[in-house]
Amino acid sequence: MTGFTKTILGTGLCAALIASAGFAASHSSVTNKAVAARHAQMQMIGYHTGVLGAIAKGEMEYDSAMVDAAATNLRELAKLDGTTMWVAGTEQGATDGSRAKAEIWSDAAGFAQKFTDLENAASAMIGAADAAAVGAAMGGIGGSCKGCHQDYRGPKS
């Protein structure tokens, strides 16, 4: 890896990290540890999506190892067993900082399917051979984020 590439990657990663820090700070009022843990999961998902998005948009130079690592991590994050985190009684309004809708528990199968959608979209990203291919696969990842947030996440408090 050239020094120039490293600089580009480093700059992009720092930008993404700073953005993620903002995301974390916005959840500072969270007191329930299960809620904090799933926010951490979402932050990790957002971070890795950000790496892929930066490559798709040309803000970060294409690097196959970076793409595959980000996509693989996304896939694994989508596969986390949510039993420990999506604990009943932690919906929006019941505990500080939660935006989880009650449908997560009343429609558990539909909610689980959304994580499967992300897992599949992340798998489809692995091996994307250039920035254009990353961009094409971003649609699936974005669609799975949106699909879940539309049905299972409430508005900002």
Partner 1 sequence: MIGAGVLWWLSAPDDITRPYAADVTPDIQAGALVFAAGGCASCHAAPEAKGDAKLHLAGGLAFDSDFGTFYAPNISSDAAAGIGTWTLEDFARAVTKGVSPQGRHYYPAFPYTAYARMTPQDVADLHAYMATLPADATPSKPHDVGFPFNIRRSVGLWKFMFSDTRDVLTDAQTPQIARGRYLVEGLSHCGECHTPRNALGALDRNAWLSGAANPSGKGRIPGITPAQLDWSEADLIEYLTSGFTPDYDSAGGKMADVVANLAQLPEADRAAIAAYLKALP
Q: Which of 38, 41, 109 is nearest to 73 (CA)?
A: 41
User: Interhelix angle for 131-152 vs 64-78, to 10°?
Assistant: 20
- Assigned token pair, 40: 């951490």
Choose, by CB under 8 A, the member of 8, 13, 40, 46 that binds partner 1: 46
Choose, by CB under 8 A, the member of 19, 88, 112, 129 that binds partner 1: 19
Q: Is residue 138 a contact partner of residue 74, using CB atoms and an 8 Å limit?
A: no
The phi, psi pair for 89, rounded to 5°, reads: 90, 10
Three-state DSSP class for residue 95:
strand
- Considering only the stretches 5-13, 50-58, 60-68, 81-89, report the one whose residues sit in contact with partner 1 under the rule CB under 8 A: 50-58
In angstroms, the CA 42 to CA 30 distance is: 14
In angstroms, the CA 153 to CA 102 distance is: 9
Choose, by CB under 8 A, the member of 35, 49, 77, 128 that binds partner 1: 49
Choose, by CB under 8 A, the member of 12, 39, 53, 122 that binds partner 1: 53
Choose, by CB under 8 A, the member of 5, 8, 20, 96 that binds partner 1: 20
Binding mask 24-43 for partner 1 (x = CB under 8 A): ------------------x-
Q: What part of residues 68-107 is at the interface with partner 1 (CB under 8 A)?
A: 92-93, 99
Comparison of 46 and 82: residue with beta carbon closer to partner 1: 46
The phi, psi pair for 90, rounded to 5°, reads: -115, 35
When asked if residue 146 is in the footprint of partner 1 (CB under 8 A), the reply is yes
Q: Residue 75 Cβ, how far from partner 1 at the closest point, in Å?
A: 16
Task: Give the number of other Cβ atoms within 10 Å of residue 144's Cβ.
Answer: 23
- Applying CB under 8 A, the residues found at the interface with partner 1 are 16, 19-20, 22-23, 42, 46-47, 49-50, 53, 57, 92-93, 99, 138-139, 142, 145-146, 148-150, 153-157
